[in-house]
Amino acid sequence: MRILLIHTGGTIGMVRTDSGFAPRQGIVEGAIQALMKTGDITADVTIQTLDPLIDSALATPTDWIRVANCIFEARDDHDAFVVTHGTDTLAYTAGALCLALPGLRKPVIVTGAMLPLTVDRTDGHRNLCDAFRAAEAGAPGIWVQFAGRLLHGARVRKSHSSSMDAFEAAPCSDEPLRAAPEPGIAALASHKVGVFSITPDPCTELLEFAAETCDGIILRCYGSGTAPDTSGLRAALGKARAREVPVIAVSQCSEGGIKLGTYAAGQVLRDNDVIDGRDMTPEMACVKMHFGLSQSREYMPRRAFIGDSQCGELTIKTVG
């Protein structure tokens, strides 16, 4: 089996420096060669290393497309793909690959490590071996392999800052890929996307500024989708609606999602055409906003793309 390993950077390939851990070329590449010699990896592996390597805390949508292009350009020469990535924004990149590679019915396994391959007790070797086994198993779509679990790429989130078992994903029966008649690469342009968390007595001036300057807004709401119905919030959301700025609401809770309309306290959101994010993760909502803004210049097609499930990121139905 022919597998392309795309090493993007991240903790797995870092070394200790005077200013802390930093990416270095050759670490992951050396580990792969060693695992092939011991028989822990049996596939025919080609390694492609991004230059420069990315510290995932510095990753941008441009980097998402860099990785997607590597996969798309090599799709005919390889049976599967493994992507090594930093854990801070791994969930964003996994979600982005789900949207960026419509019609690619091959396994893409994203993995990384909480401790570098260069230190004792690293989890990097296990995650690499598991990722290659998952790639060879052949389930199409974008998956995250971490700490012995294979997770849905459009529903994954980093849930712990230091545990080796750092990722979670809500179950989903839909494949983590975007349906299309043949493989393609999605458009992704640069956009200003703002994130605002609802709090008691929120500073709605910040949200109003976002409504005046951003191209899209992620609204992190209470529980099932509630927010304080204040004149400030109504004014800010009204400005976003007037400017045709898509706003999507997601829950601050890590499980359960939202259903706009469940409580009267969420009526302010429905009155201002806020998109019901249901059980989408905040990471995926951010990624999807960038792609949705890139799909069309028109407001309604953008709303439709963001509000409809594209690759299993939404499972809960809307209310009413």
Residues 272, 129, single domain; the answer is: no
Residues 65, 164, single domain; the answer is: yes
Residues 7, 142, single domain; the answer is: yes
Residues 218, 94, single domain; the answer is: no
Residue 94 lies in a domain: yes
Residues 229, 162, single domain; the answer is: no
Distance CA 271, CA 301 (A): 19
Residues 197, 157, single domain; the answer is: no
List CB contacts of 80: < 8 A, sequence separation 6 or more: 1, 2, 3, 4, 43, 106, 107, 108, 109, 135, 136, 138
Strand-strand pairing, 14-17 and 20-23: antiparallel
Q: Determine the straight-line distance between the first and last CA of the chain, rounded to whole angstroms.
A: 49
pLDDT at 319: 54
Residue 199 lies in a domain: yes
Spatial contact of 51 and 37, defined as CB atoms under 8 Å apart:
no
Q: Tokens 């200013």 — which residue?
A: 19
- Which residue among 169, 203, 227 closes a domain? 169
Per annotation, catalytic residue among 11, 84, 89, 281: 11
Residue 277 lies in a domain: yes
CATH number, residue 253: 3.40.50.40
Domain range for residue 155?
Answer: 2-169
pTM beyond 0.85, yes or no: yes
CATH number, residue 137: 3.40.50.1170
Residue 318 lies in a domain: no
Residues 43, 164, single domain; the answer is: yes
Residue 188 lies in a domain: no
Residue 186 lies in a domain: no
List CB contacts of 198: < 8 A, sequence separation 6 or more: 219, 220, 221, 222, 227, 228, 252
Residues 21, 110, single domain; the answer is: yes
Cβ count within 10 A of residue 296: 14
Residues 301, 217, single domain; the answer is: yes
Residue 174 lies in a domain: no
pLDDT at 22: 86
Residues 163, 199, single domain; the answer is: no
DSSP calls for the chain:
-EEEEEEEESGGGEEEETTEEEE-TTHHHHHHHHHHHHTS--SEEEEEEEEEEE-GGG--HHHHHHHHHHHHHTTTT-SEEEEE--STTHHHHHHHHHHHSTT--SEEEEE--SS-TTSTT-SHHHHHHHHHHHHHHT--EEEEEETTEEEETTTEEE--SS-SS-EEE---SS-SS---SS----------EEEEE--SS--HHHHHHHHHH-SEEEEEEBTTTB----HHHHHHHHHHHHTT--EEEEESSSSS---TTSSGGGHHHHHTT-EE-TT--HHHHHHHHHHHHHH-SSHHHHHHHHHS-SSSS--SPPP-
List CB contacts of 148: < 8 A, sequence separation 6 or more: 126, 130, 165
Distance CA 12, CA 7 (A): 10
Spatial contact of 252 and 218, defined as CB atoms under 8 Å apart:
no
Spatial contact of 122 and 113, defined as CB atoms under 8 Å apart:
yes
Residues 201, 152, single domain; the answer is: no
Looking at the structure of the chain, the number of domains it has is 2
Residue 60 annotated to the active site: no
Residue 319 lies in a domain: no
Residues 163, 213, single domain; the answer is: no
Running along the chain, 320 residues long, what does each successive block of 10 average in pLDDT? 96 92 91 95 96 91 97 98 97 98 98 97 97 95 98 97 96 94 95 97 96 98 94 97 98 92 88 96 98 96 96 79
Residue 212: what are its φ and ψ, rounded to 5°?
-85, -20
